[in-house]
Amino acid sequence: MPEYRAVREKHSFLEMVHTPELAAEVTLQPVQRLGVDAAILFSDILTIPEAMGMRVAFPEGGPQLSPVVQTAADVAALAPAEEAHRLDYVAQAVRLTRQKLGEDHALIGFSGAPFTLACYMVEGKGTKSYDGIKGMMYMQPAVFQQLMDKLADWVIAYLGSQLDAGADAVQLFDSWAGELRVEDYRDHVLPSTVRIAEAIAARGGDLLLFARNPGHLLDLTLSVPARVIGLDQRCDLRDAAQKAKALGRGVQGNLDPIELFAPPAVIRQRVKDMAAATQGCAWIANLGHGIVPATPMAGVQAFVAAVQALAHEAP
């Protein structure tokens, strides 16, 4: 969005994340420009590793974290969740956004999931092989588990603070979960995800769980006591909605972000097809993953308008 780029020209990405007033301003931009139903907090999943004591930078080419986590001593050196007050600037951004947003729109907070955070903390950057994090999981399972447990504690505290500050729901992003075998996800990652979901549910909060490229993990993600399961564009929306509905859960997704480059008529038809595929399952219409910078605003506007038109067509 031009509005976002105007702010970005004056401030670094981390400055925007760390400054509640700027984060709130950017959070509100899509609501003001597009009239979407919910605002999603402007932040970054790497706020937790930074608060735990790691150096986080965003040079060209992607995030860089140091020093990388490799041993039990490295895990022990990371700040415990009792230090979650270091992330109070995020709660401040939520409170400020809530005040400006009013009660006509929902506000969604979020956090990275333990496994995805651990990937960055062990690899030190994005990766295509995941040899560092998978190597730890296979060769140092106790260290891997210690890291996952510590991160789960942080995520529970972090998401709780966002709910306390006024978020209507919180989303857990496990962007790299799809890189795991079913057995490894079930044995090494699912337990911490379930613990987070149970903690949020126990405090009366609503959790949305999103795992990228999760087709082979769908049944396991549906076993997590989250209110909504996010689906990326690779998932069969009809199949997932049928399974989620049987469990009393909703689904979110899953238009391919690149489909926003299509003509408006094509986008309108895709929205109708998606609505039909949900077969009465509670559904948050959304993309299957993040929007890309070159996306034409006309495509975004066509998507939002097509979704909103569904309400007028409903019996």
Report DSSP state, residue 64: E
Q: Could you tell me if residue 279 is inside a domain? A: no
We report the CATH number of the domain holding residue 207 as: 3.20.20.210
d(Cα 114, Cα 116) in Å, to the nearest integer? 6
Mode of pairing for the β-strands spanning 64-66 and 169-174: unpaired
For residue 68, how many other CB atoms are within 10 A of its CB? 14
Name which of 78, 100, 82 is nearest 22 in CA terms: 100
Does residue 119 surpass a pLDDT of 60? Answer: yes
Domain assignment present for residue 290? The answer is no
Tokens of 178: 């799809």
Does the residue 81 lie in any domain?
A: yes
Evaluated on CA atoms 65, 66, 69, 75, the torsion sign reads: negative
| Residue 256 CA to its chain's centroid (Å) | 16
The domain in which residue 37 lies consists of 2-230
State the pairing for strand pair 38-40/55-57: unpaired
Note the pTM of the prediction, 2 decimals: 0.96
Residue 208 lies in a domain: yes
pLDDT given at position 111 = 98
**Residue 140 is assigned to a structural domain of this protein:** yes
Q: Is 116 exposed, middle or buried (0-12, 13-18, 19+ CB in 10 A)?
A: buried
* Count: domains in the chain: 1
CA gyration radius for the chain?
19
Mean pLDDT along residues 245-250: 97
In a domain, residue 311? The reply is no
pLDDT band at residue 138, thresholds of 50, 70 and 90?
A: very high
Among 38-42, 83-87, 127-131, name the one with the lowest average pLDDT. 127-131
Residue 222 lies in a domain: yes
pLDDT digits (tens, 9 = 90+) for 88-118: 999 999 999 999 998 899 999 999 999 999 9
Tokens of 23: 């984060």
Domain assignment present for 55: yes
The band of 61, judged by pLDDT with boundaries at 50, 70 and 90, is: confident
- Can the peptide bond before residue 286 be classed as cis, meaning omega within 30 degrees of 0? no
